[in-house]
Structure 1
């Protein structure tokens, strides 16, 4: 197939770029001689590169800015031959994208676009082509086979609008006899069923990377083995779902690195693994392989790295260590065995691996103490043993020889770190995770660890005051976690000099004021302390995403600086002593803020809702806040959870709630002074799951528009309408407000539960909800001044779990359509003026565990059966008390036509019982007396015995004859 500039125009993305390079095929010698050379760059080749640049639609990294001037050999990514001047290397590898990156393509640093390109007919010497991680898509053109001089080819792909490049035929590989390095990772090769045979035609191939290619199942063996120098093989992230052996690569004895991670191989480890005696790196993590590693590994004397994370090895760690080849004791550098289900205790022989740099045995079932011999591993840089049952003490001897240690993780092991107060460690840590160990006090040896970026000493039994040196020593640390201890004293008034992005101090006994925060702070949690005073005037910051300060004694107002926190998503100031209202982030102020950050694409004000804030969770309950419904909320277009309960807000609810906060999942305004009609336009609140307006002074009727609350019309098994919202721009509808998380770049980091909760009046009591809050579907309009009938439309809210309309002035009958609410667990209609009969269909509400219809004007027979007969077994009448017209069980009042139970004199009942006892006693005595007479007769009367046994003989003869 001939390749021309015109034919290149039919391709797009990567295909177009590679089509250009197909024109780098050998050209006649006369053409080369006719080329004019300016400097060291051939003009014809420079012109084509300029044409290529013109077709690029996105150069966000500015890589091609240097592509100007006459000498193309000086341009970025271009290398020429010193001898001929021809371009021999084109390297546009996007180093800013990693294999684990899943962010939006539009924001990638790199190149994208397609181009109609001029002919490159003079790059016959091209040996190096790297277009890795550029966001191109389309078919990989088979004309790549024309580049016969290539030694290095990398088209390691990244998705373009969730579309990867693909190739259904790779037979063109057979022409690349000189190829030494081939990387087609993430290129879809699902249809290339014969890919192994074509790869096998490359006798000089040393590196083969086909990670994430959706490869079809491999083949057991090759008839002709041409891959005799292959050293690096990466087939990771291909779902084979088959046994690991037999397979062709077990015969490639030249392999030094083998990556089979995420391939979902089944069964045991293959014995053929022992054939790879030159292997340096073995990566088989995240597979379905089970059982101990094979004994055939004893010949693998060059092993440097063993990575078996989440492989179900099982068995004792001592047995496992015996299977690791003894001849690799001086070469093994990485031993990664986390989540491998191994048991036992760490044996002293671990110190025999003198070259060990990384030891990871996290999340297993290991127990006992940590051997002091581990302190002899002078090359150890990472020690990860979290999530095991280790006990005992770690002393200075354990650390004595670890002068290269940079990373230590003892989380969840309950070890006691006991060293002298004047001990100076031999190492300089970068990351230290000691959560759940016992430290007693902030260790003095930490003051020497000035290079630490991440420090977690939460739940370590810390007492006393945080020393002053702590803040200066860790001024450059990005993550500090001292939560769940008993630390006391005041925090410094100013922490702006620090570089922290995460600062976690919750659940301590800290006092004093909230300090001025680092400008870099992303996540702040100082909840459950005894902090007092006012929030600093500059509270917030350009990067702050999560601020959790509940359950303190903070006074004063919420400062206006909150409006200058464009990234703020979670603000929890509940259970404090805050006064006044929320700041008024007027549009003009936000507009100025937007203009001051016009160069930043991360602020997010360029959305459809201009000048809006990003807050999705706002929890301000249990304070002393007052004023009308906050205008601040007009700018919170993505708000999902709003809790203003237990404050002093007043006035009417504005009509703009549904327009300005359409993403609401929870609206809690209970225990305030709101009044007027419930005029919330529910048409747009299609995601609302919790509506709590209890204990206010709302009047008027219950709006029929409650039927528009779409999320409440679905049963717990039908969440499709909510899950669909995850694709919208600002809020995840199933986002849990009590799980702290923050975003960094394109990744979201989950920090776990914050420990906050909210109360819900349900099932006759006040229950606390936190982690399971997102599964609650509730309407609570109790303790208001609502009148009129209960609308029948409420029967369409099939997902309701809790319905509380108590303590109002509701009248009329209980609508029968309430019986449609089959998921209802709690129904409280008490203290109203309801009349008529209780619907008999209430007995069909099988999920109901709490019912209260007391103190109304209900009449008629109380329904029974099924669930109703089991409710409030200790006092079932309390559900119906105060309804003079009700009758029947469990009340004592009889319904018309019921027969009263027969009432008898207690004395006569006692005499009847005594007579029955005498009769039964006489009957028993008579029976025993008669039986004794017969027994004595047989014992002492010989004639009786003869007659008795003679009778039995006759009966036996009669039966046997029949």
Structure 2
């Protein structure tokens, strides 16, 4: 019995022990995996998924059916209750960091934020940032303000528009709020911020990019949230408060970013100088001016001080700066601190020398030499002093900055040598910019750089005469500029392999010789600039990824590649070489080609006939070749072309009427060809045209009368960016998109102006000119030319034009050069020419002009060495500067009596027209009155009165006109 009892007791102990172990196992399992999610909340999440139409990152793929939603991607539940407490669907591939976001959003979810989220009543954390969940209303959903448990809310960069809902003020537990839209494409605003005052637990607030221009008391509102640690109101269109904030309650604030707002006013006083807990203060692009305040020295916790791009911040660093022992970043780029850089840097807090990581003083108008003790800033990772007036040698102590990753010394007056001693210890260097300093870089031929550069900007340094070995072992470098670097060597074979991943390579303006390899095995090249060197041979097989290739001003003598494979090519610039052969048909395959410059080569034959709907060519320059055929049909599909130069070739035939379809044309040059026929009237449909050169052809007929429609010549100082003009002389604002701004090529064009050919490069975009000289044009000079008030150059010489010089020419106040010589013009020179105050060249020689030569302050200054040359060959002209004097019957200033008779006739034409019309009407009425006696009596009574009035009017007008004529003659 006792044994049996003992056995039962033992069994009971074993059962209880096993049960306890099982219970412990179950508890551990629940702690590891959490309880299953709540059914209603699973349904709410699935409903949210239904509102998402696109999910490139497949963030919601795990959200399936009846599974445990607590294990779904981005979802976290309470281990105790199973309620969803966190929903994190952030587009992680959109973010690099908040200041340097990607420019596109290719991985975003698209759709809308479903109201089903309201079922997640225990949700504490919601992050949808970087997606495109704007929905049909496009505004931040106001119902989010009903998620009362939220502690963290991030809706930044979702491309919302409209007003930030004030219902967000109901989220009283919120400690983190980010609705920043600074990188979005649409406008989001808030008309008032009073709702922020209810968020008393808020520690992080980011409303960057939200338009707060109507909120005048924004600083007072945020001052009501003493718990704030981070405040970001960058680019919110803020202005200074109408009621200055005198005392700040932000006693724990560590980061304040008010960049890109217009606070136009003095840097001090401002409320934020009194917040001594601040670690980061960012005030870039705020239109602040004046000196730094002494109160800066009280901000002893400060680590980052960024005041860049406030052009009018002036003066020395205050002496109180020495108190800031925690400073890590000092960024004053594009300010006007001025002074000697050694003195300025001497005011940096000595106690922070071992903490400083960034020192950016670019474009601060500083002078002097870099201090020798620079090497004591041993933790410096970024040093930037470009675009100043610094001089002297670069101190050898620079080589002690072993943590340096970025070094910008460009655009200064430094001299001397950069040696291995400067560079040998810079193991972490990734960006080196010494451009435009004349520094000479001297390293041994076997020296191996300790760093792997991503970007090397060494333009106008002295790297030659041998090819710089600095680029050995730099595979992976992305950007190289060694233009104008005194290199007089061939490109070594190893160089092409080292730079095979570079996106931008510029070796222009050197004396690089030899031949290019037949094929360049580059991986990522977008731009290659080899212009202005001494390269020979053929053009290599074009790289598939290249967008810009410039090998102009060399000695290339091989033909163009027969098969262009560079489908991304935007600019192909090969002018001033010795390239023979013809333009291949494969040029038609380059659908992205915007600029083609093949001028000054040995090309011949006809241009290919492209069978595409529209080519994207914006600039086509083929000047000075031996190309032939009629006006190229290729151009009919180039509807976007703005710059066309076919000058100095062998083109022939007539200009087509469809030329009027090229409505984007701004510069049009056909000079020195064999074109014939007449100028089509459709040419005046080119409303943007501002440069027309058809000189030295066989064009006949008359000048179109509808010149008034040339709007590009009918206004002054037209902005070339607004009309889309680009090319080798003019910068473009649009065609290269977000890839990279189009840069200047160094081509130039000779313009026949002021009696000689002058080279124009970038200034060509402002030249407004018509040159129709050396053709067979007949007829009059159209009076409509007076409407082209933007004209700077007008050359109609060496034609067969007749008639008078239009007096409207005197309206062309911008005219600098006028050449009407070698025609058959007659009549007097208009006195209005004396109004042309900008005129620097005038040639009216060898015509049939007569009368007195006009004079004026500007006309009398022209051709002072031989002023008669302007009028020679006109036997009827008299007066200065010709030797033959004028007779008495010739009126002064070139207005003979015939002019006054013509003038009198013009003045009398209006009243005489009235009289003739009156008499004609009278005769018709008289015929009608023959049939009505009463009308006849009334009519003749009225006629007597009208006759008296008409007689008086004619006599008085006649007397006045002859009195004026006799008065003018007597004054003569």
Q: Does 1:841 align with 2:832?
A: yes
Q: Does 1:117 align with 2:115?
A: yes
Write the distance in 1 (CA, Å) between the matches of 2:190 and 2:92: 21
Residue of structure 2 in register with 1:511 after alignment: 536
Write the distance in 2 (CA, Å) between the matches of 1:410 and 1:524: 25
Contact 1:682–1:705 (Cα < 8 Å) also in 2: no
Residue of structure 2 in register with 1:140 after alignment: 164
Contact 1:431–1:453 (Cα < 8 Å) also in 2: yes
Q: 1:424 to 1:689 in 2, by over 3 A?
A: same
Q: What does the per-residue CA deviation read over 1:93-133, in whole Å, with 9 as the maximum and x for residues that have no partner?
A: 5864888899999x876467767734604333423222211
1:56 Cα deviation from its structure 2 partner: 6.2
Write the distance in 2 (CA, Å) between the matches of 1:46 and 1:712: 69
Contact 1:736–1:774 (Cα < 8 Å) also in 2: no
1:358 alignment partner, one of 363, 370, 382? 382
1:559 alignment partner, one of 564, 580, 584? 584
Contact 1:185–1:209 (Cα < 8 Å) also in 2: yes
Residue of structure 2 in register with 1:830 after alignment: 821
Write the distance in 2 (CA, Å) between the matches of 1:63 and 1:563: 44
Residue of structure 2 in register with 1:583 after alignment: 608
Contact 2:618–2:726 (Cα < 8 Å) also in 1: no
How many residues in Structure 1 have an aligned counterpart in Structure 2? Answer: 826
Residue of structure 2 in register with 1:25 after alignment: none
Q: 1:554 is paired with a residue of what secondary structure?
A: coil
Residue of structure 2 in register with 1:407 after alignment: 431
Write the distance in 2 (CA, Å) between the matches of 1:631 and 1:188: 52
Contact 1:112–1:134 (Cα < 8 Å) also in 2: no
2:861 alignment partner, one of 870, 877, 889? 870
Q: Does 1:293 align with 2:321?
A: no
Q: Does 1:256 align with 2:279?
A: yes
Q: 1:714 to 1:485 in 2, by over 3 A?
A: same
1:841 Cα deviation from its structure 2 partner: 2.0
Contact 2:436–2:461 (Cα < 8 Å) also in 1: yes
2:660 alignment partner, one of 658, 661, 666? 658
Residue of structure 2 in register with 1:646 after alignment: 648
Q: What does the per-residue CA deviation read over 1:345-370, in whole Å, with 9 as the maximum and x for residues that have no partner?
A: 01111111110111001111111001
Write the distance in 1 (CA, Å) between the matches of 2:35 and 2:494: 61
1:451 Cα deviation from its structure 2 partner: 2.8
Q: What does the per-residue CA deviation read over 1:593-621, in whole Å, with 9 as the maximum and x for residues that have no partner?
A: xxxxxxxxxxxxxxxxxx32221111111
Residue of structure 2 in register with 1:546 after alignment: 571
Counterparts of 1:390-539 in structure 2 under 5 Å? Answer: 390-440=414-464, 441-539=466-564
Counterparts of 1:86-105 in structure 2 under 5 Å? Answer: 86-92=84-90, 96=94
Q: Does 1:367 align with 2:391?
A: yes
2:265 alignment partner, one of 242, 246, 268? 242
Q: 2:345 is paired with a residue of what secondary structure?
A: helix
Residue of structure 1 in register with 2:800 after alignment: 809
Q: 1:766 is paired with a residue of what secondary structure?
A: strand
Q: What does the per-residue CA deviation read over 1:315-368, in whole Å, with 9 as the maximum and x for residues that have no partner?
A: 111111221111111111111111111111011111111101110011111110
Which stretch shifts more, 206-215 or 687-696?
A: 206-215
Q: 1:129 to 1:508 in 2, by over 3 A?
A: same
Counterparts of 1:661-810 in structure 2 under 5 Å? Answer: 661-716=662-717, 719=718, 726=722, 732-735=723-726, 737-739=728-730, 746-747=737-738, 749-750=740-741, 752-810=743-801
Residue of structure 1 in register with 2:11 after alignment: none
1:846 Cα deviation from its structure 2 partner: 2.0
Write the distance in 2 (CA, Å) between the matches of 1:328 and 1:56: 51
Write the distance in 1 (CA, Å) between the matches of 2:545 and 2:831: 62
Q: Which has the higher contact order (CA 8 A, sep 6+)?
A: 1
Contact 1:45–1:120 (Cα < 8 Å) also in 2: no
Q: Does 1:131 align with 2:133?
A: no
Q: 1:788 to 1:252 in 2, by over 3 A?
A: same
Residue of structure 1 in register with 2:842 after alignment: 851
Q: 1:368 to 1:877 in 2, by over 3 A?
A: same
1:371 Cα deviation from its structure 2 partner: 0.9
Write the distance in 2 (CA, Å) between the matches of 1:821 and 1:491: 52
Residue of structure 2 in register with 1:617 after alignment: 619
Q: What does the per-residue CA deviation read over 1:643-695, in whole Å, with 9 as the maximum and x for residues that have no partner?
A: 01111111111111121x21000110111111111115135311000011111
Q: 1:795 is paired with a residue of what secondary structure?
A: helix
1:175 alignment partner, one of 174, 198, 218? 198
1:176 Cα deviation from its structure 2 partner: 2.6
Q: 1:794 to 1:198 in 2, by over 3 A?
A: closer
Write the distance in 2 (CA, Å) between the matches of 1:342 and 1:373: 20
Q: What does the per-residue CA deviation read over 1:885-930, in whole Å, with 9 as the maximum and x for residues that have no partner?
A: 222222222332399xxxxxxxxxxxxxxxxxxxxxxxxxxxxxxx
Contact 1:736–1:773 (Cα < 8 Å) also in 2: no
Write the distance in 2 (CA, Å) between the matches of 1:92 and 1:286: 32
Which stretch shifts more, 627-636 or 775-784?
A: 627-636
Contact 2:304–2:328 (Cα < 8 Å) also in 1: yes
Q: 1:878 is paired with a residue of what secondary structure?
A: helix
Contact 2:642–2:725 (Cα < 8 Å) also in 1: no
Q: 1:332 to 1:779 in 2, by over 3 A?
A: same
Q: What does the per-residue CA deviation read over 1:173-195, in whole Å, with 9 as the maximum and x for residues that have no partner?
A: 23333332211101112233333
Q: 1:812 is paired with a residue of what secondary structure?
A: coil
Q: 1:850 to 1:463 in 2, by over 3 A?
A: same
1:563 Cα deviation from its structure 2 partner: 1.9
Contact 2:476–2:500 (Cα < 8 Å) also in 1: no
Counterparts of 1:58-73 in structure 2 under 5 Å? Answer: 69-70=65-66
Q: 1:223 to 1:694 in 2, by over 3 A?
A: closer
Q: What does the per-residue CA deviation read over 1:460-509, in whole Å, with 9 as the maximum and x for residues that have no partner?
A: 10002111111111111111111111111111111144431111111111
Q: 1:656 to 1:101 in 2, by over 3 A?
A: farther
Write the distance in 2 (CA, Å) between the matches of 1:754 and 1:312: 32
1:193 alignment partner, one of 212, 216, 233? 216
Which stretch shifts more, 187-196 or 78-87?
A: 78-87
Q: Does 1:317 align with 2:341?
A: yes
Q: What does the per-residue CA deviation read over 1:267-302, in whole Å, with 9 as the maximum and x for residues that have no partner?
A: 110112122211221111111311111121212111
Residue of structure 1 in register with 2:329 after alignment: 305
1:574 Cα deviation from its structure 2 partner: 0.8
Q: 1:524 is paired with a residue of what secondary structure?
A: strand
Contact 1:740–1:754 (Cα < 8 Å) also in 2: no
Q: 2:740 is paired with a residue of what secondary structure?
A: strand
Structure-1-length-normalised TM-score: 0.81
1:90 Cα deviation from its structure 2 partner: 4.3
Contact 1:133–1:156 (Cα < 8 Å) also in 2: yes
2:407 alignment partner, one of 363, 383, 392? 383
1:701 Cα deviation from its structure 2 partner: 0.9
Contact 1:314–1:340 (Cα < 8 Å) also in 2: yes
Unpaired stretches in structure 1, ≥5 consecutive residues: 1-36, 588-610, 727-731, 900-962
Q: What does the per-residue CA deviation read over 1:826-882, in whole Å, with 9 as the maximum and x for residues that have no partner?
A: 111111111222222222222221111111122222222332222111111111112
Residue of structure 1 in register with 2:871 after alignment: 880
Contact 2:248–2:275 (Cα < 8 Å) also in 1: no
Unpaired stretches in structure 2, ≥5 consecutive residues: 1-32, 125-150, 891-972
1:580 Cα deviation from its structure 2 partner: 1.4
Contact 2:75–2:84 (Cα < 8 Å) also in 1: no
Q: 1:870 to 1:100 in 2, by over 3 A?
A: farther
Write the distance in 2 (CA, Å) between the matches of 1:76 and 1:515: 51
